[in-house]
Amino acid sequence: MRELFGTDGVRGTANKHPMTAEMALRLGAAAGRYFRRDGSAAHRVVIGKDTRLSGYMFENALTAGFTSTGMNVLLLGPVPTPAVGLLTTSMRADVGVMISASHNPHQDNGIKFFGPDGFKLSDEAEAEIEAILDGDITLAAAENIGRAKRIDDGRFRYVERAKSTFPSALRLDGLKIVIDCANGAAYRAAPEVLWELGAEVIPVGVSPDGTNINQGCGSTDTALAAKTVREHGADLGICLDGDADRVMILDETGTLADGDQIMGLLASRWASEDRLSGNTLVATVMSNLGLERHLAGQGITLHRTGVGDRYVVEAMRKGGFNMGGEQSGHIVMTDYTTTGDGLIAGLQFLREMVETGKPASTLAHQFARVPQLLKNVRYGDGADPLGQAPVQAAIRDAEGRLEGTGRLLIRKSGTEPLIRVMAECEDEGLLSAVVDGIVSEVEAAV
């Protein structure tokens, strides 16, 4: 049973359990032992990170853990999360690690694992690593301790891979693009890709200092990028998060398009080209009902999963589907990459602009959203507000009021101590009433 791992690796506040240097060292050793079970030599791990101050600490601790079990470590430095998935396979590594808390503030950090195929580890593999972690970890003999090596061109390898997903006959000449890198992992790679493809690039969030990642910028705070789009008369804005595995698009007016709108556009295009495997898009239960209706009108199936891009990818692999993602901006296209890639998704959107000649405002708004309201309630350690009788009663009442007219979803976040209360309904008055009623009871319970 997994207790340490959440929906996207291990995550928490740096220097507090479980995100301590000691835990990272043991986690590296446990993962090293898991991937070295055959006892053979020449095992290797690639480690990337974003721009958080604590990344230095966790990089060193993980390196110590892995080398103590005989794994050779290849250090990529600051690179986007999808670069780790890519380089794990291209460098024939047994495991890849990304040190990042994605869209969280700088004081948080996380550790994500990728298997030798470049995909995130399964729940079962993570449970086995936890079991090793809880026991006595067998260390390598002194003469078999691993080595560590800095890889200087990891970013350049990723840049070339990202550019290769954009049609070679097309250029971005004449397009003015605001790229917001959230002061995160893609702060150099993303502007380089767009400039090399011919765009006029206006970078935002490209001055990381270790503590400003996702601060007032990026996919979770697009106000600065929207202002920059309008001030410069840009054709669009591309907003990444701290590790660049998710994206939001801003049209030429600064209006936001989320992952649902982007997936709606790309799935429709791929279906028209007979490229959408199974004529199916995989998305989570959080995706808007308007997306489902939009796709159904074109004969495209929306297959829903639990929340978390790992579960989207698992469903894609099981069903043989090649496109999926989340409303939050994770877009996974397994024709190109093994995990969400905000930059590559942005390039696919740009391809539509170049090939159709249509403005971003036309392409970025594919369907009318059914009114959706999401509110979060933070709770303390050990609390279980959803188990309280008044909360359960409020949920039952809301389900009854929404029956036949909308949807209700209540869940705990897998990455933060939050209860997420989400509902959809055409009647916005009813929508607010049911969400606020549940939130009120949850707040009282915590």
Catalytic center residues: 102
Q: 1-22 b/e with 16+ CB inside 10 Å = b? A: eeebbbbbbbbbbbeeebbbbe
Which residues are CB-neighbours of 285 under 8 A, at least 6 positions away?
Answer: 304, 305, 306, 307, 409
